[in-house]
Amino acid sequence: MLLQLRDRLFYLNVGARGFTLELIVCTPDDAFRCFMGNELDLLVVGNCVLRKEEQDPALKVDYSLAFEAD
C-alpha cells in the first residue's frame, strides 16, 4: 500500500509481524522516476496530476533486472 505523509511517499508493508513504513521518494524528481519505473497509473505532486498514458514512453524505466526480488 502506498501512503503519503507530509509530502513524502511511503510504502506500507503489512505482515504477520506487524508493519513497516519505507520511504520511497524525497523529491518530485524521485517521484517521477519511481512513477515511470513501476505500474502506477497516476502521479500527483501538489496540484499537478500526471497520467502514465500521457507520458513519453521513452521515459519508462525497467527496474526488473536492477534489483533482486524480495
| Per-residue pLDDT reduced to its tens digit, 17-36 | 677 777 777 788 888 888 88
User: Cα 52 to chain center, whole Å?
Assistant: 12
If we measure between CA atoms, which residue out of 52, 28, 27, 48 comes closest to residue 39?
A: 52
Rama region for 6: left / alpha / beta (φ>0; ψ in -120 to 50; rest): left
Q: What's the pLDDT score for residue 47?
A: 86
Q: What pTM was computed for the model?
A: 0.63
Largest CA distance in the chain: 41
